[in-house]
Every structure is written in structure tokens, then in C-alpha cells.
Amino acid sequence: MAKKFFSRTRRLRPRQKELIAVFVGVLLLLYVAFQYEWRMLKIKKEPKITVGYVYKILRRGAKQGGVSLCYRYTVSGVDYEDCNGYRLLNSRDGREAFDGRTFPVIYERGDPGSSKLLINKNDFDVFSISFPDSLLWVKKYFPSPFE
């Protein structure tokens, strides 16, 4: 039976293989975007804020650009860590300026492991939180939306 099935299936042409690969890639990107948005919605539903600190800065690949800032924070005596990517933070001086600094971290009350480091104005705007004056120093490392 299986032999009949495979003998009847036609081989895919290279163009068809490319289309399938693009389709799978688009589905993967949509899945990643959905996961990110779902995570942000969950945090918005029951937000809590604590303080975290940047303990590691990873340079991202040439295609992605920017850096990933890895941070640690504590909730109810339990330590958590995560990394957030920042495409616009490219300068070497900028990366060094963030190392070891403390920043607000917003997390979901029911799942403290689900978090977001709040550094620039965009991060605060996503959660409808006013941007603090104490972080105005970061504006030179990020282009707009700073005036």
C-alpha cells in the first residue's frame, strides 16, 4: 500500500521547494511574533514592576544587529533572568554604559518569569507608563522617539 502511494506522488520541482521553504519561514516568523505579543498581553493584564540589573550584553548577529541585554531580577525571594534584544543600540560606548546598571522590569503577577526590561521610551509606551526622568540619559543611545 505504501509503495503505491509513494510511486504515485510526484517529485517537487526546485521552485516548489523554495515556495514551501518560504511558507514555512513565514509561519515560523508569525509564530514568534504571536508568542511575543501574547507575552506582552499577559504582562499588561496583571503587571507588576520591580528593579533588575543588566549583567551581560551579547552582540547579536549581523542580520539582527544591535545587542541583547541580559538582566536579573528578584520576585518574592526567587531570582529570574531574561534577555531582551535592542536593535538600535549599536555603539560600543552604549553597550558599556548599560552594563551593571539597574532598570525597571515589568512582569506578569501570575508568572514572574515572563518579563520585559524597561529602558527606552518605546518600552514604557507599550505598557502606558510614563517615562521617568531618571532614564533620560539613555536617549543618546536610541534614536527617536526622543525629541
Strands (E) located in the chain: 47-59, 67-75, 78-86, 102-108, 111-117
Residue 117 bridge partners (DSSP): 105
CATH of 46-141, one of 2.30.29, 3.40.50, 2.40.50, 3.30.750: 2.40.50
Do 90 and 67 meet the contact criterion of CB atoms below 8 Å apart? Answer: yes
pLDDT in tens, 3-48: 555 555 567 677 777 777 777 777 777 766 656 666 767 778 888 9
C-alpha cell at 56: 551581560
Q: For 51-86, b where at least 16 C-beta lie within 10 A, e where not — what string? A: ebebeebeeeeeeeebbbbbbebebeeeebebebeb
Model confidence band, residue 95 (pLDDT cutoffs 50, 70, 90):
low
User: What is the model's pTM?
Assistant: 0.69
What end-to-end distance do the CA atoms of the chain give, in Å? 69
